[in-house]
Structure formats: structure tokens, C-alpha cells
Amino acid sequence: MKARVYVMLKNGVLDPQGEAVRHALGSLGFDGVEGVRQGKVIELDLAEGTTEATVTDMCEKLLANTVIESYRVELN
């Protein structure tokens, strides 16, 4: 079984990497980009029967800094 965890900074948290990407895109002539939020995707190969609750526990304890980041789990 596979799980995909999407981690993003929460709204209102400064995203300097996203701002750097937005600025670089503008420098390359892509003027229509008004904002960029950068995050990460974590793919996990899990044993069959692993529950979404277990993956959520992984996120809460290690994969996401829940003070400043939100996350979403997809199981496949």
C-alpha cells in the first residue's frame, strides 16, 4: 500500500521559498504570477493494513510541523 502526504505552510505563515520562486518567475518574464506557496510531498510504502490513523500519527509526530504546517493524506 502507498500513502502520499502533502505538507504546506499554513495560511498566514511567511513562505520565503515561495516568494523567491515568485520573484524568479517574474525575472524570467512570467509576470502573471501573483503568489507562490511551496510545500512538499512525501510518499510512503506501507504494509497492507496500515491505517490512515497510523499515517496521521506519523504526520503529527514527524512528517509535519503542525504549528506552522498543514497536511493532507492520500492512501492508494
Domains and CATH numbers, the chain: 2-75 (3.30.1280.10)
Q: What is the pTM of this model?
A: 0.88
Name the stretches of the chain with pLDDT < 50: none
pLDDT computed for residue 18 by the predictor: 97
Q: Which three cell numbers stand for residue 55?
A: 499515517
d(CA 32, CA 34): 6
What average pLDDT is seen over the chain?
A: 97
pLDDT computed for residue 52 by the predictor: 96
Q: Which three cell numbers stand for residue 5?
A: 502526504
pLDDT computed for residue 22 by the predictor: 97
What is the SS3 assignment for 8? strand
